[in-house]
Amino acid sequence: MRENSLLEMRGIYKTFPGVKALQNVDFTLCEGEIHALMGENGAGKSTLIKVLTGVHVKDGGEIFVKGHANAVSINSPKQAQALGISTVYQEISLCPNLSVAENIFLGRSENRIISWRKMNKRADELLKELGINVKATRQLASCSIAVQQMVAIARAVDMDCSVLILDEPTSSLDESEVAKLFVLMRKLKARGVGIIFVTHFLDQVYEVCDKITVLRDGKLVGEFEIENLPRLQLVSKMLGKELDDMADIKNDAPAYTSKDEVPVYEGRGLCSDEGISPFDFNIRRGEINGFTGLLGSGRSECVRTIFGADKVTGGTVKMNGKEVKITKPIHAMKQGIAYLPEDRKRDGIVGDLSVRDNIILALQVKTGFFKPFSKAKATEFANKYIELLDIKTASVNTPIKSLSGGNQQKVILARWLLTDPKYLILDEPTRGIDVGTKVDIQKLMLKLASEGMSVTFISSETDEMLRTCSRLLVMRDRKLVGELTGDQLTQNTIMATIAGGEKNAE
Amino acid sequence: MPSNALKPPKTSKIPNIFRNQIFIPIAALLILAVFNLIADPTFFRITLDQNSNGDPVLNGYIITVIDYGSELAILALGMTLVTAASGGQDISVGAGIAIAGSVLLRVLCGADSRSAELQAPIIVGFLASCLVAMIFGAFNGSLVAFFKIQPMVATLILFTAGRSIAAWINHNELPIVSDETFSYFGNYIPGIPVPTPFFIAVACFIIMWALLKFTTLGLYVQSVGINEKTSRLNGLNPELIKLLTYVILGVCVAIAGFIKVSRLSTINYSVIAKDIEMDAILAVALGGNALSGGKFSMGSSILGAYVIQFLTTTLYKFDVKSDALPAYKAVVVILLVIMSAPAVREKLSRLAKKLHPAKAAAENS
């Protein structure tokens, strides 16, 4: 082992039936280092983490941990924990109905009799030390996701972990919460903890990490110091190709100047019970526009109001100039509006149902209760879109939950495209999916728009929106604060509008 | 895992059988059948006898199974839908049968509980009981759908109160229908040697099959049971669909009640269809349907219902006292439930693979 390294993995192999998930992968983590593990979906990141945490047992290779002279074997999560390796997963695996302190000490008390006072005191001290602003006696469920995540980290830290694995910790946090998490990560780093950071967000990698290890197709691409690997190169290393593909997508859609044309959708004074200020919105034929703003700024709530997904409390809607009523999703669907929701797992997929049933669902509901599609017809629909969108699934009968995230997203996209919508709303269609699929979805959007469909697009990644949208509506604090078109569509103006008067654009 | 490297999982036929839902009830049925065949093959003997009226009727244990399994199978239809849509079970179906039966008798006998003639056509009585059962179903359903009460808790109300309501409908009297045609539905139609409840059950299966085939009920119910939020965003009304399943179960309850009352031409409020809710739920579970809702297989549930009746009849045949019956049943239930546990089935499936290594190797290559 190298002198200051905490953990070394050498020549790791792992095979699943039909898949070589890891082939000869090396990974080294040093003391006081934040190390990003990057790769597209299916590159082998999760498998590597799972081998390290004992969820999967490696087929070959050696793992060395500081303080152990020989290679260690990790066959269960418990063994990993004993070696000081702790994981905080994307979905928090704590008990929401217990208090913060209970969650920190759960299953670890040495004595049979618990002194609640002592436990709470120790928890408070720990939280204070780590700068986590929450009371130990508070019920975990009442804390924000960010705090819950930090409590999970505190639990790991208190268990004397030397290697901390953070698996997509930031995907459900807003910017200020991410900043807090980073403060905590840096604190731990100063204590000498090695952190493995798995994320899709490039910005965050460059903000907080020291090193990057890139995997592709189960193989090691390389380990890089952060300053030696500019973003563009990182992406091309992850993809294994040069960036021509991304450059292809340029927004050459003309700005929509013909104001006299009747908009496909026009809403005035729309508001819902989710507490957004009434807003006006319209979209024309073949236009792509988007809502931008920070997470929680109300951009999702806006499109949910348009689709009738939340309880609509006011406003008037005109479709092609004719006044209509949209208070429920079915009303919107009847008007030819389709909505791909932000939270794929919660609002998008019907997990146990097959890919076929998931694809036909919306059209079937639209068609009606007494007109079910025959199995042959449904299979035909499904196969058409599986081919069109290049959905990777074993068959149409495969349950959608066993597909990868990107392919699940494509299935839901297929579901809505099958209804032949006039107006398509895509809320974060590219979140948590690999770069290749992201590009596919953006290309598809442009193609659909050129065929006359109107599209509203929301994404956390501004450059995606800049590439596709001809008009951006900016949200701040649940209010529509600006509309950007033409020359205004640059990172700087967007940032400035989002930040408002308080902050200067950088 | 890299999705592009995933090949379609080509499992050989043998492990597939273990994974298939209908495997459990079929296996249970086979085990029971083999047991009976070894213990006493006369179990399977069917004879053509004459009943007290001189009409030809089929006799035998198998006939008993298909006769007395009818109510259970009919209830299992509705229970499957309720389970799938709401992720919970209706434990008030036994009490519901008492209510439906009581209403039926009240309409047929009128004010006089010993009236010599029918006061209303049988069909009117049946429709009235059907309507009442549907209203009670809707009551349960709305508690579950709109007030989001756990199904078992919501239906506990009628489970507790149902039999008293049934008694109250007939002023605690036990009306007797003297009309002979009424007894045909629970026994035999003169000249036809097969018990009538079997035909009624088959008719219900066909109606349910048609309902699932010619409407989108199956897709909607499963979709709502798996993910309510997604269903709503795809234009469904989850509350209405849940309510609908409880109303359909109400119809099943009315039909089962009709058969039960017709068997005896009278009613005993505290005993009629006692504990049938547990058997109905068991039928659904035995069919391999998740009791937490979601995907379902109607055929498996029906088969499950008959397996339970098969078991009950087998136990009776071996002179198990009716008091001891539940204990024996429990043992069998434990075995079945363990067998249907996903972990065990996965093991079985792996075992089968091991026994056919050549096939397994061919799959992996």
- What CATH number corresponds to the domain at position B48? 1.10.3470
Give the pLDDT confidence score for residue A111 in this predicted structure: 66
- State residue A475's pLDDT score: 87
Q: Is A20 on the interface with B (CB under 8 A)?
A: yes
Question: Residues 222..241 of B with a Cβ closer than 8 Å to A: which?
Answer: 222-223, 226-227, 229-237
Residue B13 has pLDDT above 70, yes or no: no
**Whether B216 contacts chain A with CB within 8 A:** yes
Rounded distance, CA B37 to CA B8, Å?
42
Q: Which residue has the higher pLDDT, B332 or B182?
A: B182
Rounded CA separation A299/A229 (Å):
33
The answer on pLDDT for B1 being more than 50 is no
CB contacts, 8 Å: A333 with chain B? 234-235
pLDDT tens for A7-27 read 999 999 988 776 788 999 999
Supply the range of the domain harboring residue A469: 244-336+421-506
Predicted confidence band of residue B4 (pLDDT cuts 50, 70, 90): very low
The pLDDT of residue A46 is: 83
- Amino acid type, B231: S
Q: Look at residue A9 in the predicted model and tell me its pLDDT.
A: 92
Q: Tell me whether residue B185 is in a domain.
A: yes
Task: Choose the weakest-confidence range: A124-133, A349-358, B190-199.
Answer: A124-133
Is B359 a domain residue?
no
Q: How confident is the model at residue B17 (pLDDT cuts 50, 70, 90)?
A: low
Do the Cβ atoms of A42 and B217 come within 8 Å? Answer: no
**Which of A35-44, A56-65, B211-220 has the least mean pLDDT?**
A35-44
Asked if the Cβ–Cβ distance from B5 to A348 is below 8 Å, we say no
Interface of A with B in 36-55 (CB under 8 A): 41-44, 47
A67 and A147 share a domain?
yes
Give contacts of B 256-285 with A, CB under 8 A: none
Which range, A302-306, A341-345, B48-52, is most confident? A302-306
Please tell me which residue of chain B has the smallest CA distance to A347. Answer: B230
- What CATH number did the domain enclosing A116 receive? 3.40.50.300
Find chain A residues with C-beta within 8 A of B223's C-beta. Answer: 350, 353, 357, 361
d(CA B201, nearest CA chain A) in Å: 24
Residues A289 and A320 placed together within one structural domain of the fold:
yes
CB contact under 8 A, B233 and A16: no
Residues of chain A contacting B214 with CB distance shorter than 8 Å: 370, 372
- Residue A353 with chain B: CB contacts under 8 Å: 222-223, 226, 295
Rounded to whole angstroms, the Cα distance separating A478 from A481 reads 9
| A362 touches B: beta carbon within 8 Å | yes
CA-based nearest residue to A404, from A440, A382, A433, A383: A433
Q: What is the pLDDT of residues B125-135, one digit of tens each?
A: 999 999 999 99
Residues in chain B with CB shorter than 8 Å from the CB of A329 are 232-235
The residue in chain A having the minimum alpha-carbon distance to the alpha carbon of residue B227 is A350
Total domain count for chain B?
Answer: 1
In a domain, B302, yes or no: yes
* CA distance to partner chain B, nearest, from residue A312 (Å): 14
Residues of A in contact with B2 (CB under 8 A): 19, 21, 42-44, 217-218
Q: Which residues of A touch B6 (CB under 8 A)?
A: 18-19, 392, 394
> Which of A398, A419, A440 is a domain's end point?
A419
User: Closest by alpha carbon to B208, among B99, B90, B296?
Assistant: B296
Q: What is the pLDDT of residue B5?
A: 39
- CA dist B171 and B4 (Å) reads 71
pLDDT band at A79 (very low <50, low <70, confident <90, very high): confident
Rounded-to-integer distance, Cα B238 and Cα B319, Å: 48
Inter-residue contact B258 to B83 (CB < 8 Å): no
In this structure, the answer to whether residues A363 and A433 fall within a common structural domain is no
Task: Give yes or no for residue B6 having a pLDDT over 50.
Answer: no
Asked if B4 lies within 8 A of A42 by C-beta distance, the reply is: yes
CA–CA gap between residue B75 and residue B80 (Å, rounded): 9
Average pLDDT rounded to a whole number, residues B223-241: 95
pLDDT for residue B326 is more than 50: yes
For residue B7, give the nearest of A18, A364, A404 by CB distance: A18
Chain A residues with CB-CB distance to B236 below 8 A = 330, 365
Q: Does residue A19 sit in the same domain as residue A118?
A: yes
How far does B10 lie from chain A, in Å, by closest CA?
A: 9
> Does one domain contain both A257 and A394?
no
* Model confidence pLDDT, tens digit, residues B151-207: 999 999 999 999 999 999 999 888 999 888 999 999 999 889 999 999 999 999 999
Interface membership of A357 toward B (CB under 8 Å): yes
Residue B231 Cα, gap to closest chain A Cα (Å): 8
Residues A164 and A26 in one domain: yes
Q: Which of residues 101-140 of A touch B (CB under 8 A)?
A: none
Judge whether B220 is closer than 8 Å to chain A, CB to CB: yes
Q: Which residue has the higher pLDDT, A460 or B253?
A: B253
Does B357 map to a domain? no
Q: How many Cα atoms within 13 Å fall on the side-chain side of residue B60? A: 15
Nearest to A353 among B4, B222, B237 (CB): B222
Task: Compute the distance between CA of residue B9 and CA of residue A503 in angstroms, rounded to an integer.
Answer: 55
A308 touches chain B (CB under 8 A): no
CA distances from residue A236 to A12, A241, A404, A441, B323 in whole angstroms, order as listed: 24, 5, 22, 19, 74
Amino acid at A37: L
Do A153 and A23 share a domain, yes or no? yes
Over 90: is that where the pLDDT of B246 sits?
A: yes
Mean pLDDT of all residues in B207-230: 95
Got the DSSP string for A176-226? Answer: HHHHHHHHHHHHHHHTT-EEEEE-S-HHHHHHH-SEEEEEETTEEEEEEEG
pLDDT at A236: 75
> What value, to the nearest 5°, has the Cα angle with vertex B311 and ends B309 and B317?
100
pTM over 0.90, yes/no: no
The answer to whether position B293 is within a domain reads yes
Chain A residues with beta carbon closer than 8 angstroms to that of B230: 346-350
Model confidence at A396: pLDDT above 50: yes
**Looking at the structure, do residues A450 and A484 belong to the same domain, yes or no?**
yes
**Euclidean distance between CA atoms B32 and B41, whole angstroms:** 12
Give the closest residue to A125 by CA, choosing from A104, A145, A106. Answer: A104
* Cα–Cα distance measured from residue B51 to residue B59, given in angstroms and rounded to the nearest whole number: 10
- Chain B residue with Cα closest to A395: B8
Tell me the mean pLDDT in the region B84-98.
95
Tell me the pLDDT tens digit for each residue of A157-210.
Answer: 888 788 999 988 877 677 778 888 898 899 889 988 999 998 877 778 888 999
Indicate if A89 and A212 belong to the same structural domain: yes
Once rounded to an integer, what is the mean pLDDT over residues A348-362?
Answer: 94
**Between chains, do A307 and B233 touch, taking CB under 8 Å as contact?**
yes
Q: Is residue B104 part of a domain?
A: yes
Closest to B84 measured CA to CA, from B203, B211, B215, B238 = B238
State how many domains chain A has: 3
Beta-ladder partners of A457: A290, A426
- On whether any CB of chain B is under 8 Å from the CB of A10, the answer is no
> CB neighbours of A105 closer than 8 A, spacing ≥ 6?
A119, A122, A123, A158
- 3-state class of B181 per DSSP? helix
Helix or strand run (H / E) with residue A495 = helix A491-499
Q: What value does the mean pLDDT take over residues A376-393?
A: 92
Residues of B with CB below 8 A from A20's CB? 5
CB contact under 8 A, A18 and B223: no
For residue B343, pLDDT beyond 50: yes
The Cα B254–Cα B134 span in angstroms is: 8
Q: Are residues A181 and A270 in the same domain?
A: no
Q: For A57-91, give one letter per residue: b (16+ CB within 10 A) or e.
A: ebeebebbbbeeeeebebeeeeebbebbbbbbbbe
Q: Are residues A56 and A178 in the same domain?
A: yes
User: What rounded mean pLDDT belongs to chain A?
Assistant: 85
- How far apart are the CA of B220 and the nearest CA of chain A, in angstroms? 8
B83: contact with A, CB 8 A cutoff: no
Domain limits for position B37: 28-319
Give percent of chain B above pLDDT 90: 57
Which chain B residue shows the shortest CA-CA distance from A218?
B2
- For residue A363, the model assigns a pLDDT of 95
Q: Is the pLDDT at A129 greater than 90, yes or no?
A: no
CA A270 – CA A382 distance, rounded (Å): 35
- Residues A37, A111: one domain? yes
Q: Does B236 sit within 8 Å of A350, measured CB to CB?
A: no
Find the residue in B nearest to A361 (Cα). B234
Question: For residues A234 and A199, what is the distance between their CA atoms, to the nearest angstrom?
Answer: 13
CB contact under 8 A, B214 and A372: yes
Task: Report chain B residues whose CB lies below 8 A from the CB of A307.
Answer: 233
Question: Touching check for B217 and chain A: CB below 8 Å?
Answer: yes
- Cα A202 to the center of its chain, rounded Å: 12
Which single residue is written with the structure tokens 């009716």? B322
Domain-terminating residue out of A228, A243, A258: A243
Is B338 part of any domain? no
Q: Please say if the pLDDT value at position B363 is more than 50.
A: no
Band the pLDDT of A94: cuts 50, 70, 90. confident
The residue among B83, B211, B230 with the most chain A CBs within 10 A of its CB, best to mutate, is B230
B116 close to A (CB below 8 A): no
pLDDT of res. A78: 84
Nearest to A350 among B6, B227, B235 (CB): B227
Identify which has the larger pLDDT, A233 or A378. A378
Distance from CA of A360 to the nearest CA of B (A): 10
Q: Is the pLDDT of residue A251 over 60?
A: no
Of A363, A391, A419, the last residue of a domain is A419
Q: Does A375 lie at the interface with B, CB-CB under 8 angstroms?
A: no
A77 pLDDT band (50/70/90 cuts)?
confident
